[in-house]
Amino acid sequence: MKLSHLGNEDADATARLMSASQRLIDEAARLFPLAAAQNDRTIWLEAMIDEVPDYLYFKDRNSRFVVANRAIVNDNRREGLDSLEGLSDFDIHPEHVARGFFNTEQEIIRTGRAMLDMEELIRDSGGRFKWLLTSKLPVRDGAGDVIGIVGIARDITERKRAESLHLGQAHLLKMIALGAPLTDVFSSLILLIEAHVSDVTGSILMLAPDGRHIVTGAAPNLDPAFCKLIEGAEIGPAAGSCGTAMWRGEQVIVSDIETDPLWAGFKALVAPYGYRACWSAPIRSYQGKVLGTFALYSRTPGEPTAECMKLVGMATHIAGIAIERKEAEDSIQFMAHHDTLTGLPNRSMLDERVASAIEAADDRGGTMTLAFLDLDNFKLVNDSLGHHAGDELLKIVAARMLRCVRASDSIVRLGGDEFVVLINGGMRKGETVEDRLRAVREAIAEPVVIEGRSFQVTCSMGVAAYPEHGRNATELLARADAAMYRAKEIGRDAMQVFTAELANRAHEKLERQEELRRALAQGELFLQYQPQMDLATGRIFAVEALIRWRHPERGLVGPGDFIPLAEETGLIGPIGDWTLRAACRQNKAWQVSGLPPIVVSVNVSARQFQEKDWVERVAAALEESGLEARYLELELTESLIMQDVQQAVETMHRLEQLGVHLAIDDFGTGYSSLSSLKRFPVGRLKIDRSFVQDLPNDSDDAAIARAVISLARTLQLRVIAEGVETREQVDFLREAGCHEIQGFYLSRPIDARALQAILCIPNP
């Protein structure tokens, strides 16, 4: 203290007073050292609690602040108020918030139990929301009575933000995984970002499939009128923030729309909406392709914070995942409903298309026409020029058909070389449905050049019209199908419209199909067996299983009367399975009854053989019956193998690995080439009955039979002649070197029991 301005006397007096005071303090400190320390401790304690960034306070039994540290005072500072002492929460928080705090505290005071780690949301004096993690504990006096509470609260706003962001992200990913609509995912994403960045409005724009124009994705809080203005705009080197970001494939931060040259052409558009800054970042695919943009608009000019751009980064990442997932889903959908080769709708779309064509016809009070179409010589192209050429042909045919119909018509590929054309009515002036279908047929028949070769394919077409020939998709399809079969029957390259006579036939066919299905279910089918003999030993070494139908009215029906229908309708699958199982079971039963083991030979139809799990079914039949594979032979026809040689050879190898024998039935009637025959893992050739029946007198048949026998012997295959009826035939075949015979000469096909009797007779 400076005393120079005082008079000397005053100064002396003052100096004396000061020195006396100092002595007094020193003396007091000497006499009462504890009080001084106590005083210091209070100061330190106050300083200490003021330094703590968490809220720390003590409240009395009425929940009034007695002590409050600087952190809580600062956050609740009101004008003219720099301490909370004597105040309650009702003085600084809204009533409902304060009431909550008050009730909690009164509960603690009443029960004497602490409440720890409570999450509380408050609004500080600056209006900011804060999340607090609060613990409140009772404080007791020396007698153990609760005199108030001490509270400590930590600001966990940042943690809560991170948590809510995390939850938001998880929710979005779940939406994406569950296939929520893209606009819903986008809207939720934008709302999430908007909740975490103050005073911004988000928008997602997509790049149109042409890669040049903008399509709105979502912008739940952006002015809809402004969104409309952006829709369809072209991207470019100076096309606002988003159009430029898509064009450049990089982030574009425009801090002032009014002055930035990128917005020069658009600022007038945006002005009425008040947006002044726009920060945009591209949304990319996993491979880096630009799919769209995520943008934030602000009504005040400026740059985004690093934190904000981090969120934008997260948003573009999630939006990218959502778009890609949607694209993948769309392409799976497309693939499921379209044929990959031609791009035409596939069978799964047929019913839907027919139904909507019928609906449209009803609305117009008009008609619609359905044409079933099958290429006539497609197999030949496939077999002679290979699958690649076949595929090319189908693509060309599909494109030509599309050229002949209107956008409202449909062309569906059913599979293979089968198509359906739906004509929806609306005709050009003077044009009829027949004209349009004729145009389709003529377009198909135009010469085609594939791999340097020029050729021509025709088609057979069956036509049914709504409502004349059928009232729904099933009826119309069945009738057009029936008409198409008729077109094939009358010599192909034809168009046949459905008629009443065809209706009867189709009806009959349906009835017979049902009958056959019932026959299988009710055990009307059974097997007969025809023995096969080794000419060298005279031993019956095998039997052929032949299917029969004991029809309740028609009596015994031979396979020729129902196997083709079974093949056509797919019933051959279950029927073939039944035959295979029954034959294996019977053969095993003969063995178990003590008969010498023989091979059972089972006929396989093409459709059966082409089924994906055919080999597994054979294995299952063996397993189920307990028959060893070497006692089963499968008879495949030449034409079956020739339908798809590569696939057939593969299946044959798998069957060979199982241990079953393979034979080629009806040999000589098909067109197996020598070279392909070498590739087949078969053990036997069967000379077709047609070449045997006129032996030995017909010189052509005799020549063929000799050729087949010598071919088989050269390839080291066994050879069997079927349909052998006479002694002369046997002599001829023996002399020609044939190994085995089967036919009426030995025995007609007979029941298992009768065959058992033959097998019991000792070999001659």
Ligand X SMILES: Nc1nc2c(ncn2[C@@H]2O[C@@H]3COP(=O)(O)O[C@H]4[C@@H](O)[C@H](n5cnc6c(=O)[nH]c(N)nc65)O[C@@H]4COP(=O)(O)O[C@H]3[C@H]2O)c(=O)[nH]1
- The nearest distance, CB 470 to ligand X, in angstroms, is 32
Token pair listed for 213 = 């124009």
Nearer to ligand X, 228 or 748 (CB): 748
Token pair listed for 134 = 């609060």
Q: Give the contact letters, 121-160, x = binds to ligand X (CB under 6 A), - = no.
A: ----------------------------------------
From 26-34, 327-335, 420-428, 742-750, give the range in contact with ligand X by CB under 6 A: 742-750
Q: If residue 507 lies in a helix (H) or strand (E), which one and from where to where?
A: helix 500-521
Integer-rounded Cα radius of gyration of the chain: 47
Q: Up-side HSE of residue 737: CA atoms within 13 Å toward CB?
A: 13
Q: Is 751 helix (H, G, I), strand (E, B) or coil?
A: coil
Q: How far are the Cα atoms of 102, 108, 148, 567, 702 from residue 113, in angstroms, in the given order?
A: 15, 5, 12, 84, 113
- The nearest distance, CB 692 to ligand X, in angstroms, is 8
- The nearest distance, CB 690 to ligand X, in angstroms, is 10
Q: Give the contact letters, 11-30, x = binds to ligand X (CB under 6 A), - = no.
A: --------------------
- The nearest distance, CB 636 to ligand X, in angstroms, is 10
With CA atoms as reference, report the closest residue to 759 among 597, 632, 620: 597
- The helix-helix angle for 33-51 and 8-31 (nearest 10°) equals 90
Nearer to ligand X, 260 or 635 (CB): 635
Q: Which residue is nearest to ligand X (CB)?
A: 743
- The nearest distance, CB 550 to ligand X, in angstroms, is 14
Residue 280 makes contact with ligand X by CB under 6 A = no
Q: How far are the Cα atoms of 365, 367, 406, 411 from residue 424, in angstroms, in the given order?
A: 12, 7, 9, 11
Q: If residue 55 lies in a helix (H) or strand (E), which one and from where to where?
A: strand 55-60
Nearer to ligand X, 437 or 724 (CB): 724
Residue 72 makes contact with ligand X by CB under 6 A = no
Nearer to ligand X, 60 or 725 (CB): 725
Dist. CA 569–CA 380, nearest whole Å: 23
Nearer to ligand X, 376 or 666 (CB): 666
Nearer to ligand X, 288 or 560 (CB): 560
Using the rule CB under 6 A, which residue among 409, 665, 701, 740 binds ligand X? 665
Asked if residue 483 lies in contact with residue 462, where contact means CB atoms within 8 angstroms, the answer is: yes
- The nearest distance, CB 573 to ligand X, in angstroms, is 11
What are the phi and psi torsion angles at 253 (to 5°)? -105, 110
Tokens 């000792």 belong to which residue? 762
Nearer to ligand X, 293 or 672 (CB): 672
Count residues contacting ligand X (CB under 6 A)? Answer: 21
Query: Which residues, numbered 612-651, are part of the site for ligand X (CB under 6 A)?
Result: 635
Nearer to ligand X, 273 or 541 (CB): 541
From 14-22, 61-69, 248-256, 722-730, give the range in contact with ligand X by CB under 6 A: 722-730
Tokens 């790049």 belong to which residue? 207
- The nearest distance, CB 488 to ligand X, in angstroms, is 22
Please count the other Cβ atoms lying within 10 Å of the Cβ belonging to residue 295: 27
- The nearest distance, CB 725 to ligand X, in angstroms, is 4
- The nearest distance, CB 463 to ligand X, in angstroms, is 33
- The nearest distance, CB 601 to ligand X, in angstroms, is 8
- The nearest distance, CB 579 to ligand X, in angstroms, is 4
- The nearest distance, CB 526 to ligand X, in angstroms, is 11
From 37-45, 48-56, 383-391, 717-725, give the range in contact with ligand X by CB under 6 A: 717-725
Residue 743 makes contact with ligand X by CB under 6 A = yes
Token pair listed for 17 = 């007073």
> Judging by beta carbons within 10 Å of its beta carbon (0-12, 13-18, 19+), is residue 177 exposed, middle or buried?
exposed
For residue 364, what are the contacts with CB-CB under 8 A and spacing of at least 6?
A: 425
Asked if residue 553 lies in contact with residue 518, where contact means CB atoms within 8 angstroms, the answer is: no
Dist. CA 23–CA 30, nearest whole Å: 10
- The nearest distance, CB 752 to ligand X, in angstroms, is 14
Nearer to ligand X, 491 or 560 (CB): 560
Q: Is 148 helix (H, G, I), strand (E, B) or coil?
A: strand
DSSP states along 183-245: HHHHHHHHHHHHHHSTTEEEEEEEE-TTSSBEEEEE-TTS-HHHHHHHTTPBP-TTSHHHHHH
Burial 62-89 (b: 16+ CB within 10 A, else e): ebbbebbbbbbbebbbeeeeeebeebbb
Q: Give the contact letters, 521-550, x = binds to ligand X (CB under 6 A), - = no.
A: ---------x---------------xx---
Query: Which residues, numbered 475-514, are part of the site for ligand X (CB under 6 A)?
Result: none
Query: Which residues, numbered 337-356, are part of the site for ligand X (CB under 6 A)?
Result: none
Asked if residue 602 lies in contact with residue 583, where contact means CB atoms within 8 angstroms, the answer is: yes
Using the rule CB under 6 A, which residue among 203, 723, 736, 752 binds ligand X? 723
Residue 725 makes contact with ligand X by CB under 6 A = yes
- The nearest distance, CB 733 to ligand X, in angstroms, is 13
Query: Which residues, numbered 548-607, are part of the site for ligand X (CB under 6 A)?
Result: 558-560, 563, 576, 579, 603, 605
Please count the other Cβ atoms lying within 10 Å of the Cβ belonging to residue 296: 26
- The nearest distance, CB 723 to ligand X, in angstroms, is 4
Nearer to ligand X, 308 or 602 (CB): 602
Q: Give the contact letters, 215-244, x = binds to ligand X (CB under 6 A), - = no.
A: ------------------------------
From 43-51, 315-323, 358-366, 718-726, give the range in contact with ligand X by CB under 6 A: 718-726
Q: How far are the Cα atoms of 91, 525, 584, 625 from residue 581, in angstroms, in the given order?
A: 91, 13, 5, 7
Q: If residue 423 lies in a helix (H) or strand (E), which one and from where to where?
A: strand 418-423
Q: C-alpha angle with apex 603: 597 to 606, nearest 5 degrees?
A: 145
- The nearest distance, CB 555 to ligand X, in angstroms, is 15
For residue 583, what are the contacts with CB-CB under 8 A and spacing of at least 6?
A: 527, 545, 600, 602, 632
- The nearest distance, CB 366 to ligand X, in angstroms, is 46
Nearer to ligand X, 203 or 729 (CB): 729
Nearer to ligand X, 671 or 744 (CB): 744
Query: Which residues, numbered 181-210, are part of the site for ligand X (CB under 6 A)?
Result: none
Nearer to ligand X, 190 or 546 (CB): 546
- The nearest distance, CB 533 to ligand X, in angstroms, is 12
Nearer to ligand X, 201 or 528 (CB): 528
HEC per residue, 347-415: HHHHHHHHHHHHHHHHHHCCCEEEEEEEECCHHHHHHHHCHHHHHHHHHHHHHHHHHHCCCCCEEEEEE
Nearer to ligand X, 201 or 530 (CB): 530
Nearer to ligand X, 558 or 681 (CB): 558
Residue 390 makes contact with ligand X by CB under 6 A = no
Which pairs with CB-CB distance under 8 Å and at least 24 residues apart come from 73-82?
Answer: 75/124, 75/125, 75/126, 75/130, 76/124, 76/125, 77/125, 78/125
Please count the other Cβ atoms lying within 10 Å of the Cβ belonging to residue 275: 21
Using the rule CB under 6 A, which residue among 492, 689, 706, 734 binds ligand X? 689
Nearer to ligand X, 301 or 574 (CB): 574
Nearer to ligand X, 493 or 544 (CB): 544
Token pair listed for 451 = 């791999």
Using the rule CB under 6 A, which residue among 105, 577, 722, 740 binds ligand X? 722
Q: What residue ranges bind ligand X (CB under 6 A)? A: 530, 546-547, 558-560, 563, 576, 579, 603, 605, 635, 665, 689, 722-725, 743-744, 749
